[in-house]
Structure 1
Amino acid sequence: MNQTTDPRRHAPATLRNREAILAVLRDILPKEGLLLEIASGSGEHAAFMAPLLAPLVWQPSDYEAEALPSIDAHAADSGATNIRPALRLDVTAAEWPVAKADALLCCNMIHIAPWMAAEGLMAGAARLLRDPDAPLILYGPFKRNGLHTAPSNAAFDDSLRARDPDWGVRCLDSEVAPLAARHGFTRMDVVPMPANNLTVVFRRG
């Protein structure tokens, strides 16, 4: 008898942080339009949050083609009608497979990627987010004023850099915010989150 392999991946962190992220997104996201999620990973965030944010349309994406079946399978299980099929998206590419968005969400990417990914993310956001109030939302661990916000984040940073010297927890004040400003995002709001993470919202000046 043939057995099919379940394509769904599971990221334990999503179960721990999804409620807190959703609570922030409810206050930030437009009520309708298109949200582009960068680095959707397993797809569990989209499957959980999108049904609760309708009629806003959720467009998941990921750099890894192998992640797309998991994203789509979780979306199908959710029963949501406002999640589009997942797209393969390389943030460093000069053109993305989405031409315009009303909001952009990226969770836990820029520290598990070379800095050129953060540069590509900001350049792409500047192209896609044409409304001055359209939010660019980042979630994850950040340094503040060059310092880690908790010993656990410092240990995590060490482990990332041991895996790949081009990875690492980025400094919001000296690295991420100046990069965002160079692409026209000069308004910044910072929301403390559980487990020493932050939600950072950029908008155009």
Structure 2
Amino acid sequence: MEWNWAFAFAILPRLLEGAKITIVATFLGFLIAIVIGLAIALGRRSQQAWIARSVGLCADFIRGTPLLVQLYVLFFVLPNIGIVLSPLTAGVIGLGLHNATYIAEVYRAGIESISRGQWEASKACNLSIGQTWRHIIIPQAIPPMVPALANYLIAMFKETPLLSAITVYEIMGEALGAASRTYQYLEPVTMVGGFFLIISLVCAYLARVLEERVRIYQ
């Protein structure tokens, strides 16, 4: 089995188009995950027991089922009740919801790391609950979360090949399409592996830089 440079260069434009979809899906899914993850973390701390319990059960259900099954539900099952999503939309929502349940635990750990004295000082200063969260708790809780959030971003990036199961032509989908037409798997699969490796290393480096800057800021 020899490397075919002509074939590699021929499929490169399609792989680059797929790479754009991969990056877009990752960052949109991550945006959904950090927003919904915060909502889950706050919901589980609600003083209303039924809210905290309901949010916890929903999060446990999503976290306890495979992402691939959730993608199938979003894309293939929801149309049966009149909800039709495009492949990319279903993929982004699936990535976001699934990872939000894990990111919620990162938020929870960060929030619980704040000493009780901070809450008591906020009450002593007559700050409302909203002001306490916005000005005291969240600004202190988020910086220690940066490494974990960066790791989840990288993990989400490496989960995007699952989107090919619902016909999202991200980079892995394009690679498998080219391989199935020509029965040449070496070049497309190797190129995809190299792409994921390079982007993961770049993201890891940027995460370390951000972590250092946050530490200096603190």
Larger Rg: 2
**TM-score category, normalised to shorter length:** under 0.3
Larger strand proportion, structure 1 or 2?
1
Between 1 and 2, higher relative CO (CA 8 Å, sep ≥ 6) is seen in: 2
Larger helix proportion, structure 1 or 2?
2
What TM-score do you get using the length of structure 2 for normalisation?
0.22
What TM-score do you get using the length of structure 1 for normalisation?
0.23
